[in-house]
Structure 1
């Protein structure tokens, strides 16, 4: 089974790659690694939510947005090299716009990690950072970037 087949089995369709909001590209390959730029929770070209987690955005909502960010990062990988060339997910970095006192960043970023596990199984197990920040671009509640290894 290919990763494309697995996505279809899960009922997941890769979206169009979100247009960069500044001077960067969505993904870059070097050797056998692809690094994505941070992806926001865009759905249909619009930001799905704004606000800080623990205030305007609930942790449960933010977890769903982290999943969307991971899906958008996979779309960037797919546009560059094709999702079926992914050998494994190496690292996930999640940034959570956090209200004062909010410390649940790891649970929020689990939205991305669990989604990648659903898609890639054991090849989706990855190293990870979950970081609380004061603000994210466009007021997004969460941002996720990926590093994936590509089959040669």
Structure 2
């Protein structure tokens, strides 16, 4: 399982062996899922494989390509406690690259993970502020 019952907040994983395998997070509640996502962060990055493994089988990809962001994915699903989860990733955003030259989303592949009403930031904390550069988590190797 993902959680140790004796520790409400497990220590961060070092990155090695933190992949969740081929199991989505749909059977977990909001708090458990947030802990899983925090532990998947490796030096402020997420792996595409881990993101894909979070998605429940059969969940449709609702990403709509645009000239601004031609490649990506977006998945929305409900966790065991009724909380909504949104997991998405996309290639560099051409508008962000022009408007915000130092933005992560303008220069590389990034992911956004929203559980309930908060998104993960690159430092492993959660925020309701979706406009922050820090909610665009770089994807390892992309």
Q: Same fold by TM (over 0.5)?
A: no
Q: Quick check: which one's strand share is greater?
A: 1
Q: Quick check: which one's helix share is greater?
A: 1
Q: Which structure has the higher relative contact order (CA within 8 Å, separation 6+)?
A: 1
TM-score (norm 2): 0.29
